[in-house]
Amino acid sequence: MTERKRKPSKTNKVMKWINNLLTGVLMVLLIGVASLVVITKASGGEPQFFGYQLKTVLSGSMEPGIQTGSIIAVKLAEDKNAFVEGDVITFMDEDIIITHRITEVVNSGDSVLYRTKGDNNNAADMNPVMATNVVASYTGFTVPYVGYFINFSQSKNGAFLLLIPGFLLLIYSGITIWRVLAQIELPQKKADVIGEDGGKSSS
């Protein structure tokens, strides 16, 4: 007597599709977060890719365009004298890195100065920015809230965050392997049971 295989219902198919989708998204997020934290640690907090850097924004001076706690991508400045009014630049002010918009370009002999202002500030910055102090220009790419995570990961208390993605990946890998082994063993057990039944003789 042969057993008919039950066709999976539409509900089971949908649930399986959702499960696979969530699994894929979780894997991408875990790998992405782990990679970002490791790269940030290795680069001293300023990951760099092909002439671009990721900067953490912990001030609301450029809101609403750049939210507090965001990370932004900036392109390292090549010609520091070529910026114009309206450009958003990242520059050094003593030991602080600031990202503000240029409101005026001032040519002073052979040097160029930029007057800047945060979009959310009521007044312009007190000191003009020397072109030599410009680090990069804002590309328009920003990811909200991730900056809080990156900033915390740089602290002593946040060092353990490097281990969390690894543990999650390890647990997920273990669950995945267990599921695969269970799916392999189930058909084998069914085959053994059918084989035992088929081997019995009736008197």
Going from the C-alpha of 32 to that of each of 35, 38, 40, 56, 119, the distances in angstroms are 5, 10, 12, 17, 31
Residues 60 and 86 in one domain: yes
Give the range of the structural domain holding residue 92, as residue numbers without chain letter.
Answer: 47-145
Q: 192 lies in a domain?
A: no
Give how far the C-alpha of residue 80 lies from the chain's centroid of Cα atoms, to the nearest Å: 29
Domain at 100, CATH number: 2.10.109.10
Catalytic residue among 59, 155, 201, 202: 59
Residue type, 48: Q
Helix, strand and coil content of the chain, in percent to the nearest 5, comes to 40, 25, 30
The pLDDT-based confidence of 18 (bands split at 50, 70, 90) is confident
Q: Please say if 201 is a catalytic residue.
A: no
Which of 128, 145, 162 is the endpoint of a domain? 145
Residues 25 and 106 in one domain: no
Residues 31 and 62 in one domain: no
The pLDDT-based confidence of 176 (bands split at 50, 70, 90) is confident
Residues 20 and 105 in one domain: no
Predicted local confidence at residue 113, as pLDDT: 96
Burial of 140 (0-12, 13-18, 19+ CB in 10 A): exposed
Q: What is the DSSP letter of 152?
A: H
Predicted local confidence at residue 4, as pLDDT: 54
Residues 51 and 140 in one domain: yes
Residues 22 and 90 in one domain: no
Residues 92 and 78 in one domain: yes
- DSSP H or E stretch at residue 101: strand 96-108
- DSSP H or E stretch at residue 42: helix 10-42
The pLDDT-based confidence of 64 (bands split at 50, 70, 90) is very high
Residues 114 and 126 in one domain: yes
Residues 35 and 51 in one domain: no
The structure's pTM equals: 0.59
Residues 160 and 128 in one domain: no
Are 156 and 95 contacting, i.e. CB atoms less than 8 angstroms apart? no
Sign of CA dihedral 155, 173, 48, 127: negative
Q: What's the total number of domains in the chain?
A: 2
Q: 1 lies in a domain?
A: no
